[in-house]
Amino acid sequence: MPPFSITQKVKTIPHFPYETVKNDILGKKYSLSLSFVGPTRAQKLNQEYRKKTYTPNVLSFPLDTTTGEIVICPEIARKEHKAYNLSVDGYIAFLFVHGLLHLKGHDHHTEPEALAMEKLEKRYMVKYSIV
């Protein structure tokens, strides 16, 4: 797999330096596949791999220590972005960062983990002017 690839199953994807951010968080040697999908595909993946029935905004799949996949559903992002005070494109960029941090090993199951992950998310939102 190449170090970075984007698959687009929806009409448009927002302009954002995805590969630069991927390299910053996971490193240049990490191979990442990023897919933008519709809600039906996102829900099927969530059901199949996580046994969850809701339609997710983002899914992260670590394949091994140097390879992973992120799946983002822009339609869900369009529904949720206002709750986060972000533009649609900004929220999609935030979801990408969130997914990268999961692939890096961060999680938000406990309050300390959630606070640490939020701190990192905020750092990258500022660094990459995500609004």
Q: What domains lie within the chain, and their CATH numbers?
A: 4-127 (3.40.390.30)
> What is the layout of strands, in order, in the sheet containing 67-72?
4-8, 31-36, 67-72, 58-64
pLDDT tens-digit map of 26-59? 999 999 999 999 999 999 999 999 999 999 999 9
Residue 113, CA distances (Å) to 58, 73, 108, 117 in order: 19, 25, 5, 6
The model carries a pTM of 0.91
pLDDT tens-digit map of 1-26? 567 777 766 566 678 999 999 999 99
User: Which of these, 37, 104, 35, 110, lies nearest to 121 by C-alpha position?
Assistant: 104
